[in-house]
Structures are given as C-alpha cells and as structure tokens.
Structure 1
Amino acid sequence: MPFISKDWRSPGEAWVKLEDGNWEKLKVLECGKRKRIPSTSEDDENTDVTAVPPHCHITIRCTKEIAGFNGLGDAVQRLDFRSSVRDRRRFHYICTLLGLIVTGKGIASLPGSAQRLLLQMVEEVASHVSDSQQNINVLRGLVIQLQQIVNQENQKCWGKPLGSQNLWLEHKQTIERIQSMTSQIQITVPDSSIRPRMTDLPEECIREIILRIADYRDLEATSKAWNVMSALVNEQRIWRELTGFHFNKNQVNFILDKNKSRIINDAKDWKKVFHDLRKAYGEREDHQFIEILSLCRFCCCLFWPSDGHPCIIDQCPDLKQRLTEAGEDIKLSQPVPPAQFLKFFSL
C-alpha cells in the first residue's frame, strides 16, 4: 500500500496545533478539505481553517466488515464543543452533557486527553457565564460536582489517583481557577434610568415571554419573582400550551380519559394534567434544548443542524432523487440527546 507522503516514515498525516495548546492529528482524508489563510500578524504562521462544517463519524455497530472505536475526546474536538459553549442555542445541551459526565462515572474513567478537554470546556462555561452574567445556577451546579470529584475516594487506585499525578495536579489547578472565577461573579444591577424595564411592560408582553418557557421548573421560579407573573403563570392557557409542547394528542387524551371523573363541567386543571403526563411519560429531552445534535441515518455522522454536514446523499444524485420522490416524511436524521450521545462511547 503506497503512502501519500514524500517521507517513508509517515502516511501523510500532519499535526496541527490548536488554540488551547494541544495538538491534533490531521487525517489523510481530511488534508484536501483544509485550506490555509494568511495570518493577521507577519510573525505568525498561516492559520489552518476547516472548509467543512464540524461533524464526527460514529461507529454505531461493530461487525466483521465494519470495526471502529469512538473516542470522546476526538468527537468533542471535531464537533467544536468548546467554541459552541458561547452559542446560546447549544449552551444548555453542552452543560447538560458535562453534568452527565461528571455525575456518572466521573472524569477518572476517561482518557487523560478527554479529562483535560472536559475541564477546559467547564472553564470556558465559567468564562462565558462571567461575561454574560447568565445561567449562573448552571455553572454553580457544575462547580459543586467538580468539587465532589476532587474529594471522592473512589477516584483512587491503590491509594493514589487513577492516572498521572501531574495530570491530576493540573486538574485541581483548573478546578481552583473555575471556583475562583465563579466566586467573583457579581450580578450588575441595571441603571435605574434604563427604560423600559420588565415592570413597565403590559401583561400581554409578559404573557408572551412566559409562553416561551419550556421548563416547568422555570415557570414555578418565575411565579415567585413578581405578583403579576404569579397571576399569569396560574392561567390555564400557560399550562395547556406547555402540555401540548411536551406531549402528543394521544398521551393527553389518555390522561384526560383516565381523570375524567375529576373534571367538573369541562373545567380542566391543565397544571395537574401536565404533571400527570410528566409522571406517566416523562418530558421529552430534546424539547429542553434550542439546538440538539443530530445523527445522519445515511452517513452516521453527528452534526449540528444549523451547520449541516457533508452527507453521502449529496454525492449520490440518484439516491437523493429517489428519497425526494418517496415523500417528505422520510427523516434523514434523528436527534441525539446528551444521554444518548454518551452511549456511543460506552460511558
């Protein structure tokens, strides 16, 4: 098998230095998909820019013909998770994923490079929250979980940390920086001269804001903020539309028929109906996020829907035409919640 390289020692793969100082191997098949742009500084080298949107191929099932291994660290880099932290559409998805990793088997079960990437992402979350002064409760939850990891004894093997002691020392220093950054966050009170404020808005505007809240816990917290919000949150319309957002008609009709004896004069308590449905079916996890990772059914690539991915369908016009003629009901991709994402890596 010939090597695509002038050097007999390498199959044409190059190493590219990332912004965080780590090095990533540039695969042979990706060399043609990279382009170089001149740097803004004369002293700096040219910068590598990926010409294709971030995506990651996943091996769904290993067979005799198809063998592969999914690396979490490689997937995190290829899907550009660290930069996506500052995207408001992807922030909650990534934070939920980080929380599942930390509260599960912990970072001790991950390779060293994946551990470093995980903590770098949490540090990026802390920096973003500090700049935007939003989602502080999400950051504090991650910090508490990280502190528990440091204090846990089950992260040790034969009395010592599982892995390199220098690596764990670096992890502790990163966690200390995150804790320090979190403790220094202070909410800046808006200037009293800025108008309009929330209390100046009419009820119709506030109701429209409340109708866009997808988590019932946020609704209950909102009702405690202001008496006008409390009155609006108690409206039946709010809970009726929240019920329709999370559950389909068959599920709703089943619960309504089951509780028919409790309904008097068709006066439905939609808040109770919602909680009965939640207990029976649970909330749809993909409805909790603005943007959620998707898995292509044809090329088995994970990708962000807003960016897309280079699909095999685009390279096969006949297949694309047959799918178009079959109808629009064929789903080319399926959403991948955070828990499902981790199953690809046996976590």
Structure 2
Amino acid sequence: MPFLGQDWRSPGGSWTKTEHGGWKRIIMYGEHDLEDNIGEIDLKELCSDNKENLFVGDVCELATTKRKKDLYNNKTKSQFVFEDKWIYVQKGSTKERHGYCTLGEALNRLDFSSAIQDLSRFNYVAKLFQLIARSQLTSLSGAAQKNYFNILEKIVRKVLEDHYNPRLVKNLLQDLSSTLHSLAIHVGRCILVGNVNVWMCRLETIHKWQQQLNNLHIPKQVCIGMSFDDLPLHMQNKVLCNLSDAYDIINLGQATPTLHALSENRILWKNLCHFHFADKQFCRNLVLTNSATVDWKLMYFTLQKHYPIKEHYGDTLHFCKHCSILFWKECGHPCTAIDPDTCLMPISPQHFIDLFKF
C-alpha cells in the first residue's frame, strides 16, 4: 500500500535520525541477500539478543512458520488436517462472518481423505467426486484441485489394494477423463484453473489409473469353514433382497446356478422397483409378458432409463438447519439447539454440490 502521508519516509522500514537533522534508513544485516540465503541463515540465531534484534517478536515467528509451512507442502500431498470435522455453510457476508465457504474448503475441512478409509462412507465420497468431475471442475481453486486429485489417488489405491467396488471408481474415472478431454482439448483453450500442461499430465495419470483398474485381477480366496453356498436358500434370498444395486444382484447371480435362480425371482425385482421408483412411474412404463404379468426385471431397467434411482449409502453427511453446519454424523458438531436430532437433515451428494453453488 503506498504511503500517502506528508512524511516521505516509508512505513515499512526502520529509520533513524542523523547528526545533521536528517533521516537515514536502517539496513538490516544481509537484507539484500536474505531472500537468496534464507536456507543458510539460522532464524533463531538472528532472533537472539546478541544480534541487535534483527528479527523480533511476531516477525521472527511469522518467518519460522512460513518456512515450516513450505517444508510441509513440499514433503506431503495432503492438505492441512483440521481437528473439527465440520464446516459452517455460509453463502454471503454478515456482520458476524465475512465471505463465504467454497467447495474446495469443504473438501478439506470435512476430511474426505480419511473418510474413504471407512467402507460405509467410501461409496458416498466416490459418488460425490463423480459429480464434481461432471460439472464442478472449473469452479475449483488451485489448492482445491490438488486436494481433489490427492484424494482421488487414495481412492484408486484403495480399490487396487482392497478390491472394493472397482465398477464405481471406473465410472468416476471415465466421467473425469471425458470432462477433461472436452475442456482441455475440444474447447480450444483450457478454462480450468492452472496451466494446460498440468491438466494434460493429470489426464495421462487418469488413463494410467484406468489401465490399472482394467487389469485388476481379484484372486479367488480359499474359504475355510462355512461359505455362502452352505447357507439355507431362504437366508441367501434374504441377502439378495437387501441389495439395492441391480448390477450387484446380477453379478452375484453369475456365481452359481442356485444364485442365478434366486436372482431371477420376480418378487426380488418387484421390491427393487418399489424401493427406487414411485407407483405413478409404473403406470407410464408397464412391461407385460405374454401371460399378461409384469416383467419386473425389465420394468426396472426401463424405469432406470427415464428416472433417477434412489441413492442409498451406509453413511452420509448431515446438515444442521439450526446451526447451518455440515458434518459427518459420527463426528458430531457443537449444536446449540434444544433437540439437535430434529434439526438434522441427511445430505445427498447432489445436494452437497448444490450447497456450494453461488
């Protein structure tokens, strides 16, 4: 900021009065070469009492903190970890709070990097990242981009190591690859934050992840003791009835002839249709067989083309309408309501995106 007062001396420097009545600027030790030799100078030594207080008080502490921060950023790929796993969702400036929270800030404060280690949250985070890849990449800042791809790398690594839900992550990478290819190549100029060459390198990394997932081979585990086939038929059928994904039912039905017969059960597909779709949608898309009965399996895939299916996750983010705070329910938040449970509202991945659209 320029110095606009009548005094011509710079407010950012230290000045002393000379014998002739003028002013002379005090040049600190090594001021001209300090930036080049910062790695060789011991800040603690400069801050000592023996050096005429060259760096004193907050200045020395700020310089030391900055060096530690730069060292941390160079040696780690993760963002700063917050102790509180919640964020205040603010969409405008008020007298109490200035500014607003962004999508990138939410990714960091809610600690999605640790959330993917929990199987009940993994599908939720992967679906959220898929929606971000489809529509919100251009709104991410540089720090948010770095955090996004660092978490995405951990997601891919978990699938390769634990073989957990590779189909969902394949769809995520496919959508991300299509979006980047369209924005960075077909548009003619990169509208993403950052250098276009950086995004091209990220696109190559995504293709490498896709090849690794395509080459993923899940070894057959030798079961010692009772297996799934040893369960009674009614228990196997109950397991299939608790699955909410049609592709999981089809894949499980390919394991054995018995499971294939259970996966073709009309009641199973009827319950699945009623779980995902409303009754009014059935009347518009009736699928009848030759015997005038409803083919519920074909009905499901017909409805899926026209209507979105119901999302079902083991654990989701929750929003407190009283405090305007977004948080993981297991982690909690400092709620001031008399009955906090009545203020909670589960947040779907799409609703999460909508919260940060301004």
TM-score bin, normalised by smaller chain: 0.5 to 0.7
The residue that corresponds to 2:129 in the other structure is 98
Shift of 1:134: 2.3
User: 1:227 and 1:152, CA in 2 relative to 1: closer, same or farther beyond 3 A?
Assistant: same
Letter in 2 for 1:228: T
* Contact persistence 2:78–2:150 (CA under 8 A): no
User: 1:223 and 1:333, CA in 2 relative to 1: closer, same or farther beyond 3 A?
Assistant: same
Shift of 1:152: 2.9
The whole-number CA distance in structure 2 between the counterparts of 1:302 and 1:346 is 15
Residue 58 (structure 2) pairs with residue 7 (structure 1) = yes
RMSD: 4.2
Residue 309 (structure 2) pairs with residue 283 (structure 1) = yes
User: 1:259 and 1:299, CA in 2 relative to 1: closer, same or farther beyond 3 A?
Assistant: same
The residue that corresponds to 1:186 in the other structure is 217
Q: Determine helix, strand or coil for the equivalent of 2:58.
A: coil
The residue that corresponds to 1:332 in the other structure is 343
The whole-number CA distance in structure 1 between the counterparts of 2:250 and 2:214 is 26
Shift of 1:110: 2.1
Letter in 1 for 2:76: D
The residue that corresponds to 2:353 in the other structure is 342
Shift of 1:238: 2.2
User: 1:64 and 1:157, CA in 2 relative to 1: closer, same or farther beyond 3 A?
Assistant: farther
Shift of 1:88: 0.7
TM-score scaled by length of structure 1: 0.67
Select 1:117's aligned residue among 116, 137, 147: 147
| Deviations 1:206-261, CA, capped at 9 Å, x for gaps | 112102101234334433443322322333442354355446xxx54x6789999x
Q: How many residues align?
A: 293
Letter in 1 for 2:350: A
User: 1:243 and 1:307, CA in 2 relative to 1: closer, same or farther beyond 3 A?
Assistant: farther
| Deviations 1:108-129, CA, capped at 9 Å, x for gaps | 4421222222211221111101
The whole-number CA distance in structure 1 between the counterparts of 2:297 and 2:191 is 51
Give the percent of matched residue pairs that are identical in Structure 1 and Structure 2: 25
The residue that corresponds to 2:76 in the other structure is 20
User: 1:10 and 1:76, CA in 2 relative to 1: closer, same or farther beyond 3 A?
Assistant: farther
Residue 212 (structure 2) pairs with residue 199 (structure 1) = no
The whole-number CA distance in structure 2 between the counterparts of 1:235 and 1:161 is 49
The whole-number CA distance in structure 1 between the counterparts of 2:122 and 2:173 is 16
* Contact persistence 1:255–1:273 (CA under 8 A): no
* Contact persistence 2:130–2:176 (CA under 8 A): no
Residue 163 (structure 2) pairs with residue 137 (structure 1) = no
Select 1:312's aligned residue among 323, 329, 336: 336
Shift of 1:159: 7.3
Select 2:88's aligned residue among 57, 77, 92: 57
Shift of 1:133: 1.4
* Contact persistence 2:86–2:109 (CA under 8 A): yes
Select the structure with the greater relative contact order (CA < 8 A; seq sep ≥ 6). Answer: 1
The whole-number CA distance in structure 2 between the counterparts of 1:212 and 1:228 is 18
The whole-number CA distance in structure 2 between the counterparts of 1:67 and 1:180 is 45
* Contact persistence 1:119–1:175 (CA under 8 A): no
User: 1:272 and 1:174, CA in 2 relative to 1: closer, same or farther beyond 3 A?
Assistant: closer
Select 1:296's aligned residue among 307, 317, 320: 320
TM-score scaled by length of structure 2: 0.65
Shift of 1:149: 4.2
* Contact persistence 1:112–1:167 (CA under 8 A): no
Shift of 1:85: 1.2
The residue that corresponds to 2:257 in the other structure is 227
The whole-number CA distance in structure 1 between the counterparts of 2:146 and 2:263 is 43
Letter in 2 for 1:185: L
Shift of 1:172: 4.3
Segments of 5+ residues of structure 1 without an aligned counterpart are 1-5, 25-47, 314-319, 325-329
* Contact persistence 1:127–1:181 (CA under 8 A): no
User: 1:205 and 1:340, CA in 2 relative to 1: closer, same or farther beyond 3 A?
Assistant: same
| Deviations 1:129-163, CA, capped at 9 Å, x for gaps | 11111212222223333433453355666579752
The whole-number CA distance in structure 1 between the counterparts of 2:194 and 2:208 is 21
Segments of 5+ residues of structure 2 without an aligned counterpart are 1-56
The residue that corresponds to 1:147 in the other structure is 177
Q: Determine helix, strand or coil for the equivalent of 1:206.
A: helix
Shift of 1:79: 0.8
| Deviations 1:179-205, CA, capped at 9 Å, x for gaps | 4643553211223x6443333333123
Letter in 1 for 2:120: R
